Amino acid sequence: MRPKPKARPHGQIRQSQVVTSFGPGAMLDLPQHSVLIGGLDLWGDPDEGGFRAIREDRLLAKVRRVLGRDDVRLFAPPVDSAASDAPKTGIQVWRFPSWFVVQKDEVWGENVRSRRLVSERDLVGGSCWIGPDRKRHPVVPVRFVQACANGHISDLDWHWFTHTGTSSCRRKLWIDERGTSGDLAAVFVRCECGASRSLVQALPTGEGGAPLGPCRGKRPWLGAGANEDCGGTTGKALPNRLLLRSASNSYFAQVLSVISIPDSDERLREAVERVWDQHLLYVEDLGDLKKERRRANVASTLEGLSDEAVLHEIQRRKSNATPAEKSIKQAEIETLLAQPESAVDDVPEREFFAAPLPRPASQDGPMKKVDRVVLVHRLREVTAQIGFTRFESAMPDIDGELALDVRRAPLARDANWVPAVENRGEGVLVTFRQDDVSRWLERPAVDWRIRALREGFDRWKTRNSGAYGEFPGPRYILLHSLSHLLIQALSLACGYSASSIRERIYPTEAGLGILLYTGTPDSEGTLGGLVQIGRNIEEHLRAALEMGTLCSNDPVCAQHRPNDPIAERYLHGAACHGCLLIAEPSCERRNDWLDRSLVIPTVEDLGAEFFGEADL
């Protein structure tokens, strides 16, 4: 008996897209179908093969903490094997939505395009509809579905909506398009009984109304019987909201990412452990420690570690205190800045290798405010998805941490793993002097501008009731705006396009810096261009600042106020597509929290710039 052939795949996506754009619960248009990506339970069992485990202890600890599970593991999304006898893997999908528009126009009034709206059960072979003329007509999925801010999603109850929720009529439905604009006000759903309603009436009124009714907690990506109470502990279900299938707000993957770096404290703990019982157990102060370090074996074990750091570790061990948990970005910036300035031999097998540039004897221009420049010859970024949201994104905060109180939609009913992807690349880190930033913050003009940005944020929170996040503060906005200028300046000379360069902002007490790096699953991100550019960072920093002094949309751009209720660009200062806005995948905040006037003088001349004309 012949084995049953495997189902052929309906489309292909990259592994990295699975984690960032098309994870469980996302809608995807394939060549012949519109589908909803199924939950992790449907992807196969990682323990049965077909999956590649990813090791990154620091990220794994953060994922387990956010999800509240100690058995979670990281695996790359599965790849189907071409072998006929290989175990079945691959990402399973559900057909969604289940309503379709027939590709056959009917006559209904002047300048009106009318087409039948049919459900999946009316189709023949799942792909066509047989009309009264007994001919097969192709169908396309309807553009509109409904969802709620908790991630639930379902088909519109088209009969209920057409009859304003008061009729049980089940006669034939039509989609009428009046005009060619495609605007919701020109799209009507009509029943043969005569009832008709514009889709613009499906939008919320802002007065607490729910034209599409309350959400019923449907989670079709998890399979049959996976529905839940949308109200949860509150007992009040959220209202359904109209959603276009291809809209950018239909799916926001909630991800955590870390740069794989050696823990700067791990070597310290291991060194102290090796000589603890014989030499360090009775050390009480720096004097005792210095005496012990005169011993040859202690000196060799603690080489390169400061007395203060060693004494702090001794005191921690004696008090039985657990090591302080560091945020994702704090651990990264500490390790990056802890790289020795002396030459260190690179090992090809290393996943991380960085070396700081020697400090010049004298610095001129903008380099006067630069503290250190670190060339990251090799790095590995690991990104894991732990959930998703709809309508509003819930991104990590400025420290790279995810909030625990965000209600995220789950990736599976019960899975002990999450999808993750590895990206390898290179980069350059630029940090700035803390005392210069502190003096900048004391200026009245800076305080006035930050208050305007905070007022804009408050208006944004009021306008978007389901929005997540907190005000990032002036340090972050300064570094973030400068980072965008640097990305555009570096892309002109480094060999990478601006969309291939990504940013990581460090507004921490351990260091104020910007890491610009490449990260791709293949070797494209390790061509050496950013490292080479970093050796001449002064030239490119000066070019970035000169680019920021004038925007093609000035003076409109420079005069924009974040708290302006008319423009409704509440998270932007002097920032637009002519100066600071870049490709969203390159930006860690989706092009929010930008203000050119905090970096460099503009035509508005607010006096809030960090780099003055004397620094150019």
Give me the pLDDT at residue 1, please. Answer: 33
Q: Tell whether omega for the bond before 555 is within 30 degrees of 0, i.e. cis.
A: yes
Summarize pLDDT for 57-104 with one digit per residue, the tens.
889 989 998 898 888 999 999 876 655 555 556 788 899 999 999 988
Distance separating alpha carbons of residues 221 and 219, to the nearest angstrom: 6
DSSP for 332-355?
HHHHHHTS-SS-----TT-S-EEE
Distance separating alpha carbons of residues 598 and 98, to the nearest angstrom: 51
Residue 415 lies in a domain: no
Please check the confidence at residue 141 and state whether its pLDDT lies above 90.
yes
Q: Using 50, 70 and 90 to split pLDDT, how confident is the model at 573?
A: very high
**Position 305, amino acid:** L
Residue 558 CA: distances (Å) to CA of 397, 546, 554, 613: 27, 15, 6, 17
The pLDDT of 162-176, averaged and rounded, is 86
Distance separating alpha carbons of residues 448 and 602, to the nearest angstrom: 16
DSSP for 136-163?
EEEEEE-SEEEE-TTS-EE---HHHHHT
Q: Count of domains in the chain?
A: 4
Give me the pLDDT at residue 362, please. Answer: 64
The pLDDT of 189-207, averaged and rounded, is 86
* Same domain assignment for residues 176 and 151: yes
Task: Give backbone dihedrals phi and psi of 337, rounded to 5 degrees, phi first.
Answer: -80, -15
* Same domain assignment for residues 29 and 66: yes
**Domain limit, last residue, from 39, 65, 95:** 95
Task: Give backbone dihedrals phi and psi of 37, rounded to 5 degrees, phi first.
Answer: -65, 130
| Residue 93 burial (CB count, 10 A) | 23
581-558-479 Cα angle (round to 5): 50
* Same domain assignment for residues 91 and 119: no
* Same domain assignment for residues 597 and 492: yes
The pLDDT of 41-66, averaged and rounded, is 86
* Same domain assignment for residues 469 and 578: yes
3-state class of 139 per DSSP? strand
The pLDDT of 351-371, averaged and rounded, is 83
Token pair of 426 as six digits:
């290179």
The pLDDT of 11-38, averaged and rounded, is 87
Residue 288 lies in a domain: yes
Report the range of poorest mean pLDDT among 253-262, 459-468, 601-610: 459-468
Single out the residue of 181, 232, 240, 194 nearest to residue 215, CA to CA.
240
Q: Are 397 and 403 in contact (CB under 8 A)?
A: yes
Summarize pLDDT for 472-518 with one digit per residue, the tens.
999 999 999 999 999 999 988 888 888 889 999 999 988 999 999 98
Please check the confidence at residue 344 and state whether its pLDDT lies above 60.
no
Distance separating alpha carbons of residues 213 and 221, to the nearest angstrom: 21
* Same domain assignment for residues 317 and 428: no
Residue 249 lies in a domain: no
E strand spans, 246-326: 252-259
The pLDDT of 411-420, averaged and rounded, is 91
Report the range of poorest mean pLDDT among 213-217, 465-469, 599-603: 465-469
Cβ-count burial 550-584 (b if 16+ within 10 Å, e if not): bbeebeebbebbbbbeeeebbbbbbbbeebbebee
Give me the pLDDT at residue 310, please. Answer: 85
Please give the residue range of the domain that contains residue 20.
Answer: 15-95
Please check the confidence at residue 2 and state whether its pLDDT lies above 60.
no
**Domain limit, last residue, from 63, 95, 127:** 95
Give me the pLDDT at residue 397, please. Answer: 83
| Bridge partners, residue 517, by sequence | 427, 502
Q: Dihedral of the CA atoms 574, 575, 578, 583 (nearest 10)?
A: 170
* Same domain assignment for residues 77 and 103: no
Read off the pTM: 0.84
Cβ contacts of 456 within 8 Å, gap of 6 or more: 561, 562, 563, 564, 569, 570, 571, 572
Q: Are 575 and 596 in contact (CB under 8 A)?
A: yes
Tell how far CA 472 is from the center of its chain.
16
Q: Are 305 and 275 in contact (CB under 8 A)?
A: no
Q: Tell whether omega for the bond before 214 is within 30 degrees of 0, i.e. cis.
A: no
Q: Are 440 and 446 in contact (CB under 8 A)?
A: yes
Distance separating alpha carbons of residues 98 and 480, to the nearest angstrom: 43
Residue 5 lies in a domain: no
Give me the pLDDT at residue 57, please. Answer: 83
Please check the confidence at residue 52 and state whether its pLDDT lies above 50.
yes
* Same domain assignment for residues 442 and 508: yes
Token pair of 172 as six digits:
């034939």
Give me the pLDDT at residue 203, please. Answer: 87
Give me the pLDDT at residue 206, please. Answer: 62
Residue 150 lies in a domain: yes
* Same domain assignment for residues 65 and 162: no
Distance separating alpha carbons of residues 379 and 353, to the nearest angstrom: 7
Residue 198 lies in a domain: yes
Residue 144 lies in a domain: yes
Axis-axis angle for helices 444-463, 434-441 (nearest 10) = 80
**Higher-scoring residue by pLDDT: 411, 469:** 411
Please check the confidence at residue 523 and state whether its pLDDT lies above 60.
no
Distance separating alpha carbons of residues 146 and 250, to the nearest angstrom: 10
Give me the pLDDT at residue 82, please. Answer: 55
Cβ contacts of 565 within 8 Å, gap of 6 or more: 459
Please check the confidence at residue 112 and state whether its pLDDT lies above 90.
no
Question: For 142, what's the count of Cα atoms within 13 Å in the CB-facing half-sphere?
Answer: 29
**Domain limit, last residue, from 209, 244, 279:** 244
Mean pLDDT in the chain? Answer: 85
Give me the pLDDT at residue 293, please. Answer: 87
Give me the pLDDT at residue 5, please. Answer: 44
Distance separating alpha carbons of residues 47 and 30, to the nearest angstrom: 29
> What's 277's DSSP letter?
I
Q: For the chain, what is the radius of gyration of the CA atoms?
A: 29
The pLDDT of 579-608, averaged and rounded, is 92
Token pair of 582 as six digits:
């870049």
* Same domain assignment for residues 233 and 109: yes
**Position 466, amino acid:** G
End-to-end distance of the chain based on CA atoms, in angstroms? 79
3-state class of 194 per DSSP? coil
* Same domain assignment for residues 158 and 67: no
Token pair of 277 as six digits:
């019982």
Cβ contacts of 443 within 8 Å, gap of 6 or more: 607, 608
Please check the confidence at residue 4 and state whether its pLDDT lies above 50.
no
Residue 401 lies in a domain: no
Single out the residue of 589, 585, 608 nearest to residue 597, CA to CA.
608
E strand spans, 358-508: 370-389, 417-432, 501-508
Distance separating alpha carbons of residues 294 and 206, to the nearest angstrom: 74
Please check the confidence at residue 173 and state whether its pLDDT lies above 60.
yes
* Same domain assignment for residues 305 and 371: no
**Position 8, amino acid:** R
Q: Using 50, 70 and 90 to split pLDDT, how confident is the model at 3?
A: very low
> What's 199's DSSP letter?
G
The pLDDT of 319-336, averaged and rounded, is 78
